[in-house]
Amino acid sequence: MQSPDTTFDLIGLGFGPANIAIGGALVESWAVHWDSSHQDYPIKKVLFLERNIKFQWHPGMLLPDARMQISFMKDLATLRSPQSPITFLSYLHSQNRLIKFINRGSTIPTRREYADYLSWAARYVQDHGIPVLFGTEVVGVDSTSDGLLVIHTKSVANDDVASYTTRNLIISPGGTGRIPAPLAPLIEHPLIIHSSTYLMSVDSIIASVAAKGKASLRIAVIGAGQSAGEITLNLRERLRSIPVPAGRHQIDMIIRKGALRPSDDTPFANEIFDPQATDAWFSHPSTAARATQLQEFRSTNYSVINSLTLDALYEVIYSQKVDSDIARRTNGPSSSIPLVHIRPYSCIVAAHAPEVDGDPDFTFTIQHVLSRELETEKYDAVICATGYQRTSWINLLKNSSVGKHFGLSSACQPGTCRLIPDTKRSLQDSELDSLLHGGGRSAESSNGSAVSTPPTSPTLSVTELDRHDDHKIYISRGYRLIPTNDGGLKSRIYLQGVEEATHGLSDSLLSVLGVRAGEVLDDLCKEVRL
C-alpha cells in the first residue's frame, strides 16, 4: 500500500489579509474544479501558519472611529472576482447591514468594521477547507535532498517545534515596527513602544508614569505619519482624565520635516494603486526609475496624514492658542487640557533611558535639521510612530540553507539586499549598471549647462541605488523568487506585501490583494507539479 503523501502543495507564512486573499482565491478555484478535474488541480493540500493566537489585523491601532484609507471595493476579492463569496459586500449582506452601509453615504468603512470583515473572511476560508495553525511561528526554512522545502515552526505557547514539507511556500509576513537608531538600544524599556502595540500598552504606560507622582506628564510621539497623528489625538483624550495637580500634561510630536502634510488621495494620483500600475512599475528599465516613481508618489501613503485627522489636529492646536490668548488677556487661569506641541525639523541624535537611582526620564538630544542647534528634552514615555520595515523574509531566508539558491547568505545585511525584476536577470552586471547609470541620468545632470532651478518633476538621478556589492534577488512578475543557482531546488517561494521596490506602492497595502492572489495562484498552477 502506498503511504499517504505528507507533503503540502502549499504552505503560507502568515494569515494576514495577503494570505487570506490567497486562501479565498483557492476556495473559489476549488469550487470551480471540484467536480470534474479537482484530482488534477495542483494545489490541494495546503496549510497556513500564523504567529498570532487568533486572527488579528493591526490590533494595536484599532482606535475608536479610525477610518480606512481605501474604498470598501478594494477588498480581498472584488477587483478579481466581484461574485466571490468573500467580498466586503457579501460580508455586509451576511451581517444584514448592506442597506444601512449604503445609507451611510460613504465608500470608506471604519477600521473597526473592516477588521471585522477581515476576521469574517478569515473564518469563511477556514470553514471552506483552508487549515490554519494559529500560535505557530515560522522560524526557519530548509531544503530536502529531493529539492522540496521544509518549514520549521515554534509554538508561541510552549516553544514546541515542528516541521512541514511543502512544494510551494508563500511568505506574507507584513511589516515590523521600525525604531530610530538612537532609540533601538532602549526598546526593551516598558515605557517606550512602537505604534503597532499602542492599544496593548497605553493603559499600563499611563498608569506607571502617573504613579511617578509628577505634577504633569510629558510623552513624546515620534513621526509625522497617520499613526503618529491618530495616536497624538487619542493620547490627548486619555491624558485628559489623568489629574494634573499643577501645569498640564504635554504631548510632543517630534517630526523631522517642517510641517505635517496631507495624504494625496486625489483621483489621478490614486491610479498608482490600480492593478495595471503593477505591470508598468515592474517593467521600468531600472531600479532608479522605480525609485524615482516611488519618491514621486510617496505622499499618497508614507509620512502623511489624511485630511480628516489633519484638520482635527489643527483644530486642537488652534483651540490651544485661543485658550492661551484668552487666559493672557483676562488674567484667567491657564488651561489644564493636555497640550499638543509639534516640534518640526527635529532629529533625535541621542537618547538615554531613565536610570533607577538617577534621572527618572528619557533624555533626548534633538538636533534642529536646518539650524543644526542641539537641545535636550525629557520625557516620561515615548511612542515611536516611525513606520514599518519589511525585511523579516530576508532574515528568514539568509539564515537558511535555501538562501544560497537566491543569492543570500548569513553575511547579507537586509539594507544591501535588493529585489530586481527577473526580466533584468539575463543582463550581465556591467550591462545592468550601464542601463541603470548611463540611461539613468537626467539631461540636467549629464550636460554642463544644467539649469540651477531644481526641477519640480521627478528626474532620474539616483545613482547610489545599484551598487556592485548589493545582493540582487530576482523576482518574477508573478511574485516568485527566481533562483540564481537552483542547485536542485524544486520548490517555489513567493513573496507578498514586501516587494514594493519591484511591484509598486500598492504592494504593502490592500489595493491589489484580490488581483494579486489570482496572479499568484495562476503562477502556481501553470507550473508542472513537482
Residues of this chain that bind ligand NAP (CB under 6 A): 61, 66-69, 111, 178, 180, 195, 222-228, 230, 256-257, 301-303, 385-388
Q: Which residue of 10, 11, 13, 340 would you call a contact of ligand FDA, by CB under 6 A?
A: 13
The answer to whether 196 and 62 have CB atoms below 8 angstroms apart is no
CA dihedral 97, 99, 104, 106 (to 10 degrees): 90
Q: In what order do the strands lie in the sheet with 149-155?
A: 136-143, 149-155, 161-166
Cα 209 to Cα 227, 230, 364, 382, 512, distances in angstroms: 22, 21, 17, 11, 43
**Region from 30-38, 55-63, 283-291, 305-313 binding ligand FDA, contact rule CB under 6 A:** 55-63
| Closer by beta carbon to ligand NAP, 100 or else 257 | 257
Alpha helices in 400-448 (DSSP H): 429-433, 443-446
- With CB cut-offs between 5 and 8 Å by kind, which of ligand NAP, ligand FDA, none does residue 407 bind? none
342 binds, among ligand FDA, ligand NAP, none (CB under 5 to 8 A by kind): none
CB nearer to ligand FDA: give 13 or 384. 13
Among candidate residues 507, 75, 465, the one with its CA nearest the CA of residue 278: 507
Cell of 449: 549647462
Q: In whole angstroms, how far apart are CA 495 and each of 59, 60, 284, 353, 393?
A: 23, 25, 20, 38, 8
Provide, rounded to whole angstroms, the least separation between the CB of residue 12 and ligand NAP.
Answer: 22
CA separation for the pair 110, 349 (Å, rounded)? 37
The partner in contact with residue 303, picked from ligand FDA, ligand NAP, none with C-beta cut-offs of 5 to 8 angstroms by kind, is ligand NAP
Q: Which is nearer to ligand NAP, 140 or 344 (CB)?
A: 344
Nearer to ligand NAP, 48 or 114 (CB): 114
Tell me which residue of 125, 138, 133 sits closest to 170, measured CA to CA. Answer: 138
Stretch of 13-21, 186-194, 281-289, 463-471 lying at the interface with ligand FDA (CB under 6 A): 13-21
Q: Which three cell numbers stand for residue 239?
A: 491624558
Rounded Cα distance, 155 and 133, in Å: 10
399 binds ligand FDA (CB under 6 A): no
Query: Which partner, ligand NAP, ligand FDA, none, binds residue 524 by CB below 5 to 8 Å per kind?
Result: none
Residue 172 binding target from ligand NAP, ligand FDA, none, CB below 5 to 8 Å by type:
ligand FDA
Q: Minimum CB separation from ligand FDA for residue 194, in Å?
A: 10
Q: Which does residue 174 touch among ligand FDA, ligand NAP, none (CB within 5 to 8 A, set by kind)? A: ligand FDA
Q: Which residue has the cell 518640526?
A: 344
Q: Per CB under 6 A, does 138 bind ligand FDA? A: yes
By CB under 6 A, the count of residues binding ligand FDA is 30
| Distance in angstroms (rounded) separating the CA atoms of residues 26 and 23 | 5
Considering the rule CB under 6 A, would residue 110 count as an interface residue with ligand FDA?
Answer: no
Q: How far is the CB of 358 from ligand NAP (least distance, A)?
A: 26
Identified binder of ligand FDA from the candidate list 22, 58, 440, 499, rule CB under 6 A: 58
Q: Are 242 and 206 in contact (CB under 8 A)?
A: yes
Is position 16 an interface residue for ligand FDA (rule: CB under 6 A)?
yes
Question: Using CB under 6 A as the criterion, what x/- string covers residues 246-275 for binding ligand FDA?
Answer: ------------------------------
Angstrom distance (rounded) from CA 473 to CA 209 = 46
Cell of 477: 512578475
Which residue ranges make up the site for ligand FDA (CB under 6 A)?
13-19, 49-52, 57-58, 61, 68-70, 137-138, 172-175, 392, 496-497, 508-511
